[in-house]
């Protein structure tokens, strides 16, 4: 009887929440309250275009930070859903890949201002008189700065899954659905997580353009840090600019600790290696959740539901491996029909664009944009080479040391998210005061949108590098340049190519804000297609916007096809862990 009473008492104690439950539940409910508070004002009536709802009072900054962070995480959720579908279809289907990957090249080359110029009216028309239309336009603009990088990373990982692991999955007779969730997605997790962090930072980089929407005579400023910064720059309030940057740092530190640090620590279990590393990533949030009782019990049904969902024996073609065609003749006929349809659509779309541009422009304008695009391309290539030489060794050193990576991670996210607009006052004042050449000195602003894609991808590659291969290299006493060229560079090369590819697209986007900068009424412009598009957007000149975006897209596609795609194919064939 006494033993039953003791057992009953211990069961009752275990069913009660412990102190860790109280802390965890406080954090969870606090997040729910913040989300509810931030989303409540997304559907209020839209203020008049000439209204000034943004105040530079510091007391409003926490609320503005909440609104901006909520938009960015909504865009990140949409980017993740896009990545899991779009990149998977491109990796699994040869015919879909021939269309989706070039389309992705185009999408990542189209600047945010190009999207905003045509989407603002669409979203405002969906919800007339409501702020929801402007909110969706802003979220979509942030989505365009996040999704392409994540999609390229996931596509690269799906194409480089080790062959021996694929054979093991076939040996266990896993269905395509099970293989996708139990092998391919876990294998892609380290790279996807780091690219998700980079995408989040990329959203901060363009948040000013997304929240302070100006197309022609229409200006809409949504409450947020981006519009706060835009207002501070217009009013030349350097104090408000610095306080906004400090708030960005606080927000990044918060979501790094609460979101990304736990995910990075959790993803360590997905590394492909035969011997575990002696140092692992840690997170106080994961440790807190592991010590709870109620929270873990509440999460168990969700975990079982996810296990059931990923264990379904579904034979979906979109998730299966590339299969052999039934016959060469049938395959050739299907290819001809498929690519004929795509070619007709492309020709029709191109012809409509030509007709639209030809309404006010001529061949002289076309030749002008070709020359400006060549100038911007030179800037992009030079900065990409410089960023690679500087950051690849540093990123490898960080990625091979998880403890260092944990400390550097928040700083890297902040630097990647650092709004380029903060540097504009220094650039404008310096160029005007010392009569410097804008074509040279404004070029360095592009590096803010270039280097971080390489940094995060190389860190991800070095972090995912198998520990057993490092031990083998140490046992054979491989060091110096031999270690770099025979061990590490081949190991991180697929990740570097993905980072450099997306860095190229990020640089073209950064050129839009770096080649045409403002500080109050002072404006400085450099020669390039970025300044051309920015000035056309400011003037509401849609034919020139279409011409500039189209020319930039053509150059980016050719650049990627002639350089990055061959390197990507080489990494897929020769440098995969198989």
In this structure, of 135-149, 354-368, 502-516, the range with the lowest mean pLDDT score is: 502-516
pLDDT of residue 392: 92
Q: Which residue has better confidence, 367 or 299? A: 367
Nearest by Cα to 505 from 195, 133, 271: 195
Q: Where are the alpha helices (DSSP H) in 184-293?
A: 185-205, 207-211, 225-234, 238-255, 261-266, 284-291
Q: How far is CA 569 from CA 94, 304, 448, in A?
A: 14, 39, 28
Token readout for 250 is 């606080």
547-561 tens-digit pLDDT: 888 888 888 878 877
> Taking residues 498-516, what's their average pLDDT?
79
What secondary structure does DSSP assign to 7-53, as a single string?
Answer: HHHHHHHHHS--HHHHHHHHHHHHHHHHHHHHHHGGGSBPPPTT---
pLDDT of residue 17: 67
Q: Is the pLDDT of residue 98 over 60?
A: yes
Q: Is the pLDDT of residue 184 over 80?
A: yes
Token readout for 39 is 């989303």
Q: What is the mean pLDDT of the chain?
A: 78
Q: Name the DSSP class of 577.
A: -
| Cα gap 223→134, rounded to integer Å | 11
| Cα gap 548→536, rounded to integer Å | 9
Query: What class has domain 17-319+361-574?
Result: mainly alpha
pLDDT of residue 327: 60
pLDDT class of 372 with cuts at 50, 70, 90: very high
Is 411 within 8 Å of 351 (Cβ atoms)? no
Token readout for 155 is 């596509």
In this structure, of 191-200, 315-324, 399-408, the range with the lowest mean pLDDT score is: 315-324
Q: Is the pLDDT of residue 276 over 90?
A: no
pLDDT class of 226 with cuts at 50, 70, 90: confident
In sequence order, what are the residues at sequence separation of 6 or more whose Cβ sits closer than 8 angstroms to the Cβ of residue 106? 553, 556, 557
Q: Where are the alpha helices (DSSP H) in 435-560?
A: 438-441, 451-463, 467-475, 480-483, 489-514, 529-539, 542-559
Q: Which residue has better confidence, 471 or 73? A: 73
Q: Is the pLDDT of residue 414 over 60?
A: yes
Token readout for 354 is 């030509």
pLDDT of residue 10: 46
pLDDT of residue 7: 45
424-475 tens-digit pLDDT: 667 777 887 888 888 888 877 777 667 877 888 888 888 878 877 888 888 8
In this structure, of 267-276, 302-311, 444-453, 563-572, the range with the lowest mean pLDDT score is: 267-276
Phi, psi of 280 (to 5 degrees): -125, 160
The top-scoring range by mean pLDDT among 214-223, 334-343, 500-509 is 500-509
> Taking residues 541-570, what's their average pLDDT?
82
- Dihedral of alpha carbons 429, 431, 435, 438, sign: negative
Map tokens 């005007």 to a residue. Answer: 432
Q: Is the pLDDT of residue 5 over 50?
A: no
pLDDT of residue 344: 83
| Cα gap 411→409, rounded to integer Å | 6
Q: Is the pLDDT of residue 83 over 90?
A: yes
- Dihedral of alpha carbons 484, 577, 453, 258, sign: negative
Compute the C-alpha angle 142/143/147, nearest 5°: 130
| Cα gap 154→193, rounded to integer Å | 10
pLDDT class of 76 with cuts at 50, 70, 90: very high
């Amino acid at each position: 009887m006494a033993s039953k009473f003791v057992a009953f008492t211990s069961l009752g104690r275990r069913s009660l929440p412990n102190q860790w439950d109280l802390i965890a539940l406080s954090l969870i409910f606090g997040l729910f309250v913040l989300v509810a508070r931030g989303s409540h004002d997304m559907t209020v009536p839209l203020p008049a275009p000439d209204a000034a709802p943004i105040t530079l009072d510091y007391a409003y900054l926490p609320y503005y930070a909440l609104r901006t962070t909520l938009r960015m995480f909504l865009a990140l959720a949409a980017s993740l859903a896009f990545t899991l579908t779009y990149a998977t279809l491109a990796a699994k289907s040869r015919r879909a890949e021939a269309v989706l990957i070039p389309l992705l090249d185009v999408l990542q080359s189209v600047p945010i201002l190009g999207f905003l110029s045509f989407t603002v009216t669409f979203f405002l028309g969906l919800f007339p008189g409501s702020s929801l239309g402007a909110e969706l336009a802003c979220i979509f603009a942030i989505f365009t700065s996040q999704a392409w990088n994540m999609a390229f990373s996931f596509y690269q990982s799906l194409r480089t899954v080790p062959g021996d692991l694929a054979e093991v999955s076939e040996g266990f007779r896993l269905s395509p659905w099970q293989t996708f969730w139990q092998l391919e997605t876990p294998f892609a997790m380290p790279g996807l997580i780091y690219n998700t962090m980079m995408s989040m930072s990329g959203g901060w980089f363009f948040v000013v353009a997304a929240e302070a929407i100006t197309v022609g005579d229409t200006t809409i400023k949504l409450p947020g840090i981006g519009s706060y910064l835009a207002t501070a720059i217009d009013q030349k309030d350097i104090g408000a600019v610095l306080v906004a940057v400090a708030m960005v740092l606080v927000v990044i530190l918060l979501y790094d600790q609460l979101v990304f640090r736990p995910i990075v620590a959790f993803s360590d279990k997905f590394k492909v290696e035969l011997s575990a590393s002696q140092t692992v990533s840690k997170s106080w949030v994961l440790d807190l959740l592991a010590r709870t009782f109620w929270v873990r019990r509440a999460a168990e049904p969700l975990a079982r539901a996810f296990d059931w969902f990923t264990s379904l024996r579904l034979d979906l073609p979109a998730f299966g491996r590339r299969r052999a065609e039934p016959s060469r003749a049938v395959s050739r006929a299907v290819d001809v029909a498929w690519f004929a349809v795509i070619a007709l659509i492309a020709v029709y779309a191109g012809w409509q664009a030509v007709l639209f541009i030809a309404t006010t422009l001529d061949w002289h304008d076309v030749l002008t944009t070709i020359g400006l695009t060549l100038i911007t391309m030179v800037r992009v290539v030079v900065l990409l080479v410089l960023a690679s030489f500087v950051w690849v060794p540093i990123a490898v050193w960080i990625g091979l040391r998880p403890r260092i990576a944990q400390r550097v991670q928040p700083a890297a996210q902040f630097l990647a998210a650092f709004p380029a607009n903060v540097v504009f006052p220094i650039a404008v004042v310096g160029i005007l005061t010392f009569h410097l050449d804008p074509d040279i000195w404004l070029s360095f602003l592009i590096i803010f949108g270039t280097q971080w894609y390489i940094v995060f991808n190389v860190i991800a590659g070095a972090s995912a590098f198998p520990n057993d291969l490092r031990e083998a290299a140490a046992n054979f006493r491989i060091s110096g340049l031999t270690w770099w060229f025979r061990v590490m560079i081949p190991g991180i090369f697929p990740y570097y190519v993905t980072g450099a590819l997306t860095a190229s697209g990020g640089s073209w986007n950064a050129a839009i804000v770096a080649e045409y900068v403002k500080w109050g009424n002072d404006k400085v412009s450099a020669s390039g297609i970025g300044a051309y598009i920015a000035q056309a957007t400011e003037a509401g000149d849609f034919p020139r916007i279409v011409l500039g975006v189209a020319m930039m897209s053509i150059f980016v596609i050719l650049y990627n096809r002639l350089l990055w795609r061959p390197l990507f194919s080489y990494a897929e064939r020769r440098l995969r862990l198989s």
